[in-house]
Amino acid sequence: MPTLDAILPRLTDEMRADPDWGAVATYIPELAGVDPEQFGISVVLADGTCHSAGDCDTQFSVQSITKVFTLAIALGRSGDQLWERVGREPSGRAFNSIVQLEQEQGRPRNPFINAGAIVTTDEVLGTRAPRDALAEIVQFVRHAAGTDDIHINETVAASENAYGHRNYALAHFLASFGNLLNAPELTLGTYFHHCAIEMTTKQLAMAGRFLVDAPALPRMISPQRIRRLNALMMTCGHYDGSGDFAYRVGLPGKSGVGGGILAIVPNVASIAVWSPGLNRYGNSLKGTKALAILAREMSWSVF
């Protein structure tokens, strides 16, 4: 089998040569200015070694990928009670869709669509001040990644808040159904801030180690919870593109609108890829392409 150190630079060259970079998200003005022609990839193997290529040292907005970390924290705090407030089914709809929320009386389909992540964030917030909940989230991510050099970009959070009408609509809808403990602006303030965490692909691949379940990698949650988080990433991690991602890549993954994807090869590896241009589902165009090639070349699949 070819080694990662041979595959990753070749994959990066291939991605850079492909003229279709997709389109960056524009609804968060601060993200609209990011140069789409960037590509980075990092893989941490079960032995702890990290292999990277391309723009692997550039920090980017991880956005919805943080929903995996907040879900892990919410489950740690509340256990199965969380599932009274949010479901575990794929939504088959865009990440920011509101229609299902009305039809299903304010219980979001899963924790990875925006409505579900707002509920999860609300659970993590509890009765605390947003600053305390955010400190816990950032600490969890730093601990997982094994570095303190991970921060929230306040400008990105403010930019999203200023234009966050849809997320405000979702939060108010949740509140109208009695599924929000805190005032919408408090929960959303916390949500926008954790989405605005920035990482490099190296840091993100390191942070994903806690989902791999390998003896040499840090253990932060139980093996059973690792399997369950991976199951949700597989079924819901790419919104209405989750089926397509499972078909093409065959691994649990979570995307963010900043163009990052965290994918897990259970017991084998944590993979982070970043390219800011998105496909029609709002998932990284080249990130998905690169993962499909890498998974095939390494024979990595859960199927």
Ligand X SMILES: NC(=O)CC[C@H](N)C(=O)O
Nearest-approach distance from CB 189 to ligand X, in angstroms: 12
Residue 27 designated active-site:
no
Nearer to ligand X, 199 or 217 (CB): 199
Is 27 annotated to bind a ligand? Reply is: no
Neighbours of 104 (CB within 10 A): 15
Answer yes or no: are the C-beta atoms of 140 and 73 closer than 8 Å: yes
Who's near 247: CB < 8 A, 6+ residues apart? Answer: none
* Percentage helix, strand, coil for the chain under 3-state DSSP, each rounded to 5: 50, 10, 35
**Taking CB positions, which residue lies at the least distance from ligand X?**
64
Catalytic residue among 42, 44, 141, 191: 191
To which H or E segment does residue 235 belong? Answer: helix 223-236
Nearer to ligand X, 64 or 270 (CB): 64
Nearest-approach distance from CB 38 to ligand X, in angstroms: 17
Catalytic residue among 67, 254, 286, 289: 67
Is 96 annotated to bind a ligand? Reply is: no
Q: Which residues bind ligand X (CB under 6 A)?
A: 63-64, 95-96, 114, 160, 167, 195, 256-257, 282
Catalytic residue among 44, 68, 257, 273: 257
Catalytic residue among 42, 52, 61, 64: 64
Nearest-approach distance from CB 126 to ligand X, in angstroms: 21
Residue 281 designated active-site:
no
Nearest-approach distance from CB 228 to ligand X, in angstroms: 21
Nearer to ligand X, 53 or 157 (CB): 157
User: CA 10 → CA 4, 63, 230, 269, distances in Å?
Assistant: 10, 28, 28, 19
Is 191 annotated to bind a ligand? Reply is: yes
Neighbours of 144 (CB within 10 A): 24
Residue 168 designated active-site:
no
Residue 213's Cβ-count burial label (10 Å; 0-12, 13-18, 19+) is buried
Residue 293's Cβ-count burial label (10 Å; 0-12, 13-18, 19+) is middle
Is 78 annotated to bind a ligand? Reply is: no
Is 64 annotated to bind a ligand? Reply is: yes
Nearest CA to 268 among 221, 213, 202?
Answer: 213
Residue 163 designated active-site:
no
Catalytic residue among 61, 239, 255, 286: 239
Is 167 annotated to bind a ligand? Reply is: yes
Nearer to ligand X, 114 or 179 (CB): 114
Please report, in angstroms and rounded to a whole number, the separation of the first and last CA atoms in the chain.
19
String of b and e for 167-186 (b: at least 16 CB within 10 Å)? Answer: beebbebbbeeebbbbebeb
Nearest CA to 112 among 286, 243, 235, 269?
Answer: 235
Nearer to ligand X, 4 or 234 (CB): 234
Nearest-approach distance from CB 156 to ligand X, in angstroms: 9
Active site residues: 64, 67, 191, 239, 257
Binding-site positions read: 64, 114, 160, 167, 191, 239, 257
